[in-house]
Amino acid sequence: MNAGEIYTRLQRELKRRPYFVDLEVLEQTASLIKARLVISAGLFVQIYRNERYQTTSLALIFNGNRLYARGELDGRWHRHLHTAPDEHDFSLEGQRIVSLTEFLDEVETILAELDLP
């Protein structure tokens, strides 16, 4: 998925999920995007994709801390569970490539579990 496709999907998810109140694009070029889907002050989903370096980061952030994330480095995926956000999970499930929609579904589950926002 390229940066332009991600931007289009982010706009779609903003309209589709009523708890997102804003889409902030922090940086965007032809091969890079860094954006946030804002839920509330201090609570957002940050999306980063750099095609040149095959790097992807999808993260749920709360008060400056990562709660949950999935990431790709050099084509290898991993995740950070909300129960251990500083650890890398390279299990089969942790290495599974997920779409933006799947990641946001996971975020919804975690938000409900943690009673956020």
* Nearest one of 88, 87, 68, 86 to 78, comparing CA atoms: 88
Q: Looking at the predicted structure, is the pLDDT value of residue 1 above 80?
A: no
Residue 48: strand pairing partners? 34, 57
pTM equals 0.94
Burial status of residue 62 (CB atoms within 10 A of its CB: 0-12, 13-18, 19 or more): buried
Q: What is the mean pLDDT of residues 69-98?
A: 94
Percent of residues, the chain, with pLDDT higher than 90: 91
Percent of the chain whose predicted confidence (pLDDT) is above 70 = 100
**What is the average per-residue pLDDT within 108-115?**
96
Q: Give the CA-trace dihedral at 67, 117, 58, 28, to 10 degrees.
A: -130
Work out the pLDDT band at 117, boundaries 50, 70, 90.
confident
Q: Assess contact for 83 and 40: CB atoms under 8 A.
A: no
Q: Would you say 1 and 12 are in contact if contact means Cβ atoms under 8 Å apart?
A: no
State yes or no: pLDDT of 112 exceeds 90.
yes
For 3-44, what is each residue's pLDDT tens digit?
889 999 999 999 999 999 999 999 999 999 999 999 999 999
Count CA atoms closer than 13 A to 36's CA, side-chain side.
15
- The 10s digit of each residue's pLDDT in 72-84 is 988 899 999 999 9
Residue 113 pLDDT > 90, yes or no? yes
